[in-house]
Amino acid sequence: MELTTPAGNPAATRLPLKLVVVLGSNRAGRFGPVIRDWLLAHTALHPDFAVEVVDVAELDLPTALTGRPSPAVTAELARVSPVLAGADAFVVLTPEYNHSYPASLKNLIDWHFTEWQAKPVGFVSYGGISGGLRAVEHLRQVFAELHATTVRDTVSFHNAHGHFDETGRHRDPAAPDAAAKAMLDQLAWWARALREARAARPYTG
């Protein structure tokens, strides 16, 4: 028998939350996949999430936005837009380039609008001495404009290359593991609360 879970039904709280991890760099030789694999090891242990990855390096979206995309762009959007639309929450994984986030990530964000609305966003960042935190602060402003909610705690890797061994394992995992748990727990709380709110009353902002 199929289980139905209308808004307000306690069974709804047991449904997995769809978490989309956005890998935001398409630069050659990027370090992002190492961080992605580290993050996915943590999301796999979290009881609330079912995870899908969107990698901007696998997309071919033009930088010139248009309301009438070509058939090729329409096909490309058909690959990614339903994934974003179906998400209950996002983790954006970003490096810091020139004190901000990559153009490839902004391009993906700008091709979408309602897909982000009334959903929570967490951040994992990496870079040099700043650990990508300046990129994250810029992204908070972008997602606020898109009516998304960013969670307070982040995970950041300062001078990231030096903290992972050749197999992708973090050399001193206690602090980043704790940071990941805090961020994912906050994200799960907001994701469940906002999913129930959207089901009870569609967001019209």
Domain boundaries, the chain: 17-24+38-59+83-200
Cα dihedral sign for 91, 187, 149, 98?
Answer: negative
* Residue keyed to tokens 């289980």: 3
Q: What is the mean pLDDT of the chain?
A: 93
Say how far apart CA 57 and CA 71 lie, in whole Å. Answer: 20
* Residue keyed to tokens 């061994």: 165
The three-point CA angle 64-24-153 to 5° equals: 125
Residue 171 has pLDDT above 90, yes or no: yes
Residue 50 has pLDDT above 80, yes or no: yes
Q: How do residues 88-133 score in pLDDT, each as one tens digit?
A: 999 999 999 999 999 999 999 999 999 999 999 999 999 999 999 9
Residue 179 has pLDDT above 80, yes or no: yes
CB 108 within 8 A of CB 20: no
| Token pair listed for 187 | 């994200």
pTM reported for the whole predicted model: 0.92
Residue 140 has pLDDT above 50, yes or no: yes
Q: Which amino acid is at 174?
A: A
Say how far apart CA 123 and CA 117 lie, in whole Å. Answer: 17
Give CA separation, 189 vs 25, 49, 61, 180, 186, in Å.
27, 11, 32, 14, 5
Residue 10 has pLDDT above 90, yes or no: no
Q: How confident is the model at residue 205 (pLDDT cuts 50, 70, 90)?
A: confident
Average pLDDT rounded to a whole number, residues 64-73: 94
| Token pair listed for 88 | 């209950």
List of residues 6+ apart from 141 with CB closer than 8 A: none
User: To which CATH superfamily is domain 17-24+38-59+83-200 assigned?
Assistant: Flavodoxin domain (3.40.50.360)
CB 204 within 8 A of CB 163: no
Q: How confident is the model at residue 13 (pLDDT cuts 50, 70, 90)?
A: low
Nearest to 125 by CA among 85, 90, 149, 160: 160
Q: How confident is the model at residue 14 (pLDDT cuts 50, 70, 90)?
A: confident
**Is the model more confident about 141 or about 11?**
141
Say how far apart CA 50 and CA 65 lie, in whole Å. Answer: 31
pLDDT of residue 12: 52
